[in-house]
Structure 1
Amino acid sequence: MTASRDLLIDAFDRIAQTARRTVEGLGHDELSGRVDPDSNTIAWLIWHLTRVQDDHVADVAGRRQAWLDDGWEKRFGLPLDAHDTGYGHSTEDVGQLDGVGAEELIGYHEAVHARTVEYLRTLDDDDFATIVDENWNPPVTLGVRLVSVISDDLQHVGQAAFVRGVLERR
């Protein structure tokens, strides 16, 4: 057991718990609702944060993504490239998620979360200093990449919870 690994698992657990609480009980109108015509929807935010986690953790783990391996790409049926994570999406792209239900969003997130925790449990403290991306100056370590995913996910799950709160008060 390592302190670093345990902290990262705790952070990813909190993201998963917040994602579930944010999406549970929501129907189509809430999942696809927008604060304004160009804002992101709850469905898109949860899908995007999960896609980023799936993509980045699979990459550093040397594994294929759950999106592809577990058939989530087919279940969602989005007219997007199989490796699209949502980065740079337009308002119209965000709307592609309008038909996705809460069960799919939570199911996909839980599958990715399980894979993430499984991978994290294989790591020791020394592993976090491993360089995983030399395209940056300084090069990115495994620890920095994982914290970056956590930071991005926390921002997006917080945005989704905020959108839910705004929509519920309307």
Structure 2
Amino acid sequence: MNSAEILTDAFDRIRGVVHDTVDGLDEDALKHRLDPGANTIAWLVWHLTRVQDEHLAELRATESLWTGRGWYERFDLPIDRNATGYGDTPADVALISAPPELLTGYHDAVHTRTVRFLGALHDRDLDAIVDTNWDPPVTMGVRLVSVIADDLQHAGQAAFIRGALTRAPAGRTGTAIVR
């Protein structure tokens, strides 16, 4: 197994968690908050996908799918077209709402682009410096691992919220939101 295959496997796992988390939920469940300051599944999936999309666009020296392929318009959110979720407040999180098919559709489009990019990589490509704003400078390999780590954390948080929604005590929310 080469490096590109290992990275592809990691991104495939992220996609699997995203689908396992989102599939079968309605928009109300996707935007449910465990407390007033908590992130939602919709925000977490949108954010992890935006981060992956932006970083891969930078590595490919192309425009992101969000702005270049109409995903911003399809989501029709009251946010800046270049927003990725970094630094979002609880009020910003509440603005992210979308049907499950739109969330997974965008994620799948970004995933497909990511896998194509990885399929063309050679191990030596991972040593290329892609960001000199850090000490030491960031290589492509480090950037990809960083995206994977961030995305897996957010996907896991979304899965946790789904689990909490399926187990909500009757006295707290009436019934579980997800069955």
Give the alignment's TM-score, normalised by structure 1. Answer: 0.97
- The RMSD of aligned alpha carbons is 0.8
Aligned to 1:97: 96
Mapping of residues 133-152 of structure 1, within 5 Å: 133-152=131-150
- Determine the C-alpha separation between the residues in 1 that align with 2:9 and 2:118: 11
Aligned to 1:55: 54
Larger Rg: 2
Mapping of residues 16-35 of structure 1, within 5 Å: 16-35=15-34
Partner SS, residue 97 of structure 1? coil
How far apart are residue 36 of structure 1 and its match?
0.8
Partner SS, residue 124 of structure 2? helix
Aligned partner of 2:82: which letter? H
- Determine the C-alpha separation between the residues in 2 that align with 1:29 and 1:80: 20
Cα-to-partner distance string for 1:124-164 (whole Å, 9 max, x where unaligned): 00000000000000000000000000000000000000000
Greater RCO (CA < 8 Å, at least 6 residues apart): 1
Query: Matched residue pairs, number?
Result: 168
Unaligned runs of 5+ in 1: none
- Determine the C-alpha separation between the residues in 1 that align with 2:154 and 2:74: 22
Moved beyond 3 Å, runs of 4+ = none
Unaligned runs of 5+ in 2: 169-179
How far apart are residue 84 of structure 1 and its match?
0.7
Mapping of residues 57-76 of structure 1, within 5 Å: 57-76=56-75
Percent of aligned pairs with the same residue?
55
How far apart are residue 96 of structure 1 and its match?
0.6
Give the alignment's TM-score, normalised by structure 2. Answer: 0.92
Partner SS, residue 53 of structure 2? helix
